[in-house]
Amino acid sequence: MFSHLLPVVVAFLPATVSAYGRIGHWLTGEIAHHLLSAPAKEWTNALLPEYDGSLARAALWADEVKPPWSKSHHYVNPPRDCTALSPTNCNCILSAIGNYTTRLADPTTPHPARNEALKFVIHYIGDIHQPLHVSGRFKGGTEMKVLFDSHHTSLHEVWDYLMLERSTKFLGLSRTDYAQHLLSNYPSPTPCPSSSSSFSPSPTLPACPLLWGTESANLNCGLVWANLTIGTDLAHSGYYDVALPALEQGVVAAAYRIATLINAIVEMPHDADPETLLKIQT
């Protein structure tokens, strides 16, 4: 069972706020960390010593380093607007989640590579729940110029962080308290199907990036673009009121799915003892 009371601890936050990689990923990691089982918390403490086991802090890493070869791993573009995602192979977020989950679940993966795999998995599961990371329209909204709270910006930035920052300020909450607010107000998401599907690393692991990406693609068709009125301030035209709940639900869904996946990996017999992580040599 998941408990819905977050500890009142403010984790370190980088000073710069930019993109979903800050508040969105931080919230997702903070909520996910709380949803971990006790053995999973020990496991992440051993695997992420540089962050004291904090998933909130680790969630930011992939955007901070962002090597050139990983650029396409942060998104996927459907073949056409409002069409289902293709199960064909791609060098995109779908395959990246599957590949890094496989590395993470493999106890023979060297410790440094497993550490990196966990940081990528946390980040990419967050990304795939932001719908404009699953849209090629106007380059994922980065080239769609809009007005938000009297500031000129892009639609992608609105979904990446501006709506979440505005909601936090409107509620007068710290980020830790905002994470508690989200966890208390949104349900757990649809679980992965019992049978394996494209990009799922294993039928025994709850990782189904094609399903998650399809959910975000559907949001693009039914909400993100359909409710957009160019020339109006999106913070005050009604767009924000409709879009924010969908974005917040995505944050919570990503957190549950990260925690569920980590818990499942730790429950595998070969990871019963978190100290074994520290014995894996490069």
Domains of the chain as residue ranges with CATH? 23-67+81-279 (1.10.575.10)
In order, the DSSP letters of the chain are --------------S---STTTHHHHHHHHHHHHTS-HHHHHHHHHH-GGGTT-HHHHTTHHHHH--GGGGGGG----SSTT-PPP-S--SSHHHHHHHHHHHHH-TTS-HHHHHHHHHHHHHHHHHHTSGGGG--TTTTTTT-EEEETTEEEEHHHIIIIIHHHHHHHHHT--HHHHHHHHHHHS---PPPPSS--TT-S-TTS---HHHHHHHHHHHIIIIITTT--TTSBTTTSSHHHHHHHHHHHHHHHHHHHHHHHHHHHHHSGGGS-THHHHH---
Q: Quick one: pLDDT at residue 15?
A: 29
CA angle, 74 as apex, 226 and 220 as ends, to 5°? 10
Number of Cβ within 10 Å of residue 221's Cβ equals 15
Whether the Cβ atoms of residue 52 and residue 29 lie closer than 8 Å to each other? no
Closest CA to 276 of 48, 102, 111: 111
Q: What is d(CA 230, CA 186) in angstroms, rounded to the nearest whole number?
A: 30
Whether the Cβ atoms of residue 203 and residue 105 lie closer than 8 Å to each other? no
Closest CA to 131 of 27, 228, 220: 220
Tokens of 14: 């980088």
Q: Quick one: pLDDT at residue 113?
A: 97
Whether the Cβ atoms of residue 101 and residue 118 lie closer than 8 Å to each other? no
Q: Quick one: pLDDT at residue 6?
A: 38
Q: Quick one: pLDDT at residue 202?
A: 81
Q: Is 184 exposed, middle or buried (0-12, 13-18, 19+ CB in 10 A)?
A: exposed
Tokens of 276: 């074994």
Q: Per DSSP, what are the bridge partners of residue 4?
A: none
Whether the Cβ atoms of residue 250 and residue 165 lie closer than 8 Å to each other? no
pTM, to two decimals: 0.88
Mean pLDDT by 10 residues, the chain (282 residues): 34 33 91 98 97 97 91 86 72 93 95 97 97 92 96 96 97 97 96 78 88 93 90 96 98 98 91 48 36
